[in-house]
Structure 1
Amino acid sequence: MDQNQQELHPLYPKCEEARSTGILDLKMKELTAIPQAVFRFMACAEADVKECDISDNKLICLQPQLPLTFHNLTFLNLAHNWLSSLPAEIGDLRALEVLDFSHNLFYTMPGIVYQLPHLTVLYAHCNCISEFDLTKPIATDRLDLVDLRNNRLSHSFIRKLLKTKRTFRLELDDDESDSN
């Protein structure tokens, strides 16, 4: 960004802060997309962003540029948006440990989450998920928690899910039990 753009763009202070802290906080900005100016500035600044919070916005889709620009993310909060899918490039976030896409419009578990080798916590509660592929191998052996509360999981799917061998804690609705 040139000097005039920096002074005029309302997210410039957030980008400056991220450059020094490694935390990009874009929550509650009523964003329908991440502005290109954010990507340009952060790329030029060579900022090493480790955490990104884009919660409480109006995102319908997540641009593939996010994981390409912030490839060292360990924490990504996408909660409280209108997302129903994640770009395949999320799989390039090899260091990602915490992914929160709760309170969105997902109907199934995004296949890309199976490919994240350092994922430890997955928040997927309050979506529309009814079922997902239980046979797909999970790339991480670090997974500690998967939160699926307040989804549309059928009783038959829950029974299958609870019978599946797993090493992580599974959060389900109160009337369902985690037998792990």
Structure 2
Amino acid sequence: MRPPAYNGDDVQQISPEQGERNVAMAVCVQLAGRAIIRVVSRCEEAQDNCNLDLSECQLMQVPDAVYHLMRHTELKRCNLSGNVITKIPPKFAVKFSLITELNLSHNQMSKLPEELAELQALERLDISHNTFIALPPVTCRIPQLKRLLANNNSIIDIDVERLRHAPALEFIDLQANPLTARMHDLLGTLTRIKIELTPRQVEEWEDLTI
């Protein structure tokens, strides 16, 4: 019995571009696999030390699997820095209600859920190096929050009166934000809270000595 004859036209040729895409896809799958392994490994570590470190894990969000893996652990600290997270879901505050420190720095967030006010034990919050244009109102409602790091954002708007009545806030870093002269003056009226600000550059039109 003769083997079937193949017409050259029947053999599918893979273009160089398709070959490159296939290689790229294989690399992406490999990287994703490594990222998943890293996340699971760090969750297992957190089950022992109550410190969940998911920094630099290529996360776009907090995976649902994390909540499942940590369901029997009373977390005290959570580090989500150095990812590409755009938002924190409301259920985060429910699942991790006992944390005292939360690091959300170096992500792509522009707002926070109001449910974070339910974090009754949170004392330190880092939202630096994100894309906030206003200081999230919820930061003034977290009952035990003492230190707030909000430097290196695009914050131009702050509700100073709301900030004045923050229940426990002692320190806030607002350096490297494009705050107006008026906002600098208003923040200067807050005496109970220590505020770090980048010295404002005087515009040419403001310099009356010219």
- The answer to whether residue 200 in structure 2 is matched with residue 172 in structure 1 is no
Return the offset for 1:175: 4.4
Deviations 1:137-159 (A, max 9, x none): 53423x22100000010011111
**Partner of residue 131, structure 2:** 105
Q: Work out which structure has the larger RCO, using CA pairs closer than 8 Å and 6 or more positions apart in sequence.
A: 1
| Superposition pairs of residues 22-37 of structure 1, within 5 angstroms | 22-37=50-65
Matched, 1:140 2:189: no
Superposition RMSD on alpha carbons, in Å? 1.6
The number of residue pairs the alignment matches comes to 165
Alignment match of 2:41 (pick from 13, 23, 47)? 13
Between structure 1 and structure 2, the one with the greater Rg is 2
Name the CA distance, whole Å, in 1 between partners of 2:112 and 2:144: 18
Bigger proportion of residues as helix: 2
SS of the residue corresponding to residue 48 of structure 2 reads helix
Counterparts of 1:115 and 1:124, CA distance in 2: 16
Q: Is the 8 A contact 1:39 1:65 kept in 2?
A: no
- The structure 2 residue matched to 1:69, chosen from 95, 106, 113, is 95
Q: Which residue of 2 aligns with 1:131?
A: 157
For residues 117-152 of structure 1, give each alpha carbon's deviation from its aligned partner in whole angstroms, at most 9, with x where no partner exists: 1111100000010021112253423x2210000001
How far apart, in 1, do the equivalents of 2:191 and 2:122 lie?
20
Q: Distance in 2 between matches of 1:165 and 1:126?
A: 21
Task: In structure 2, list runs of 5 or more residues that go unmatched.
Answer: 1-34, 202-210
Gaps in structure 1 of 5+ consecutive residues: 1-7
Identity %: 34
